[in-house]
Amino acid sequence: MALTNGLEVQREILDAEIKSFFDSAPPLKDSDGISGKLEEFVKKNSVSSESGGVRRVVCVTSGGTTVPLEQRCVRYIDNFSSGHRGAASTEYFLKAGYAVIFLYRRGSCQPYCRSLPDDPLLESFEYTDDSNIKVCQSHSEVVRNAITKTHAAVTGGLLLKLPFTTIFEYLQMLQMIAFSIRSLGPYAILYLAAAVSDFYVPWKSMAEHKIQSGSGPLDMRLVQVPKMLFVLRKDWAPRAFCISFKLETDSKILLEKADMALQKYKVHMVVANELSTRKEEVVVVRSNEKISVRRNQSPGVVDVECPLIELIVGRHSVYIENPDL
């Protein structure tokens, strides 16, 4: 009885923290428009796929969230993430026949654009003799591929891209997405690859204008971001197949931390990756197994996400057949 009461108290505290976060967050811009897009996307992909089965839908989160330090933000704290993992994973999910809701950080890596040149965009184009503009020959193939595949996915109703910047935008939109895919039950996946801030400045505690440097050293109290993953699993989309990520710089504690996340949040899978080797190898941690996934050295396979998504699709198929196991 005491244990039960203790858990109930912890849940009440968490619920209060989450309510406080959302109540004090600045309103999401174009909330109605986003809601409409999600409703239309999920409705379209709730019908049978071309193969005769039910279409599977995955929400891929990608990139890092920012923590504003002022309401009229000049300064902010950022989380490291290029968005490469999320962008690559989106490509492989689309290839596997999934419809993808891509919740991404503005300015981060985009699906099908990973091979575009790092140089400024204008350097990909050149003038022709008749004063028209065309893509440089050296970049023509990757630009054509990016445009063609992105256009096909978006116009085909298989890719919905929703951008965020701040921790406030990210969590409000994640909640909206989870609610929208809840009706899909086990056919939905939450693939949470975004680098989410652990601490933030509550909106009401924030300075309205730019913090002045002439006042000397800056002391600022950050509050812990409520652990939304627990309620995401339990309440927001309880039947969805949920995958979280754990990134560490110390390989000695990586698997231990992944195990702890698995137990604490009751997700179906944790993808553990160490900062220096994250592009070469990840470890998929489940309740009964740990699977090392390495980048395939075969010609034409350049991403660790290729075998990773292949593994996830297989485990998701098993889950669809037995979601209560």
Instruction: Please give the Cα distance from 195 to 312 (Å, whole number).
Output: 20
Q: Residue 45: what pLDDT?
A: 94
Average of per-residue pLDDT across 280-302: 86
Minimal CA–CA distance to 29: which of 236, 173, 178, 232? 173
| Distance between start and end Cα atoms, the chain | 27
d(CA 15, CA 114) in angstroms, rounded, equals 39
| DSSP H or E stretch at residue 76 | strand 76-78
Q: Is the pLDDT of residue 280 over 80?
A: yes
**Domain chopping of the chain, boundaries:** 53-114+126-321
C-alpha distances (whole Å) from 213 to each of 75, 296, 313 are 12, 50, 51
Mean pLDDT of 250-255: 91
pLDDT for the residue numbered 51: 60
Pair of tokens at residue 5: 């009461």
Average pLDDT over residues 272-286: 93
Residue 281 tokens, joined: 């190898």
Residue 128 and residue 133: Cα distance in Å, rounded? 6
* Topology classification of domain 53-114+126-321: Rossmann fold (3.40.50)
d(CA 278, CA 273): 5
Model pLDDT for residues 191-232, shown as the tens digit of each residue: 999 999 999 999 988 888 998 887 788 888 899 999 999 999
Q: What is the pLDDT of residue 246?
A: 95
Q: What is the average per-residue pLDDT within 299-311?
A: 87
pLDDT > 60? residue 3: no
Q: How many residues does the chain have?
A: 325
pLDDT score at 63:
97
Tell the burial category of 137 from Cβ atoms under 10 Å away from its Cβ (0-12, 13-18, 19+): exposed
| pLDDT of the residue at 133 | 86
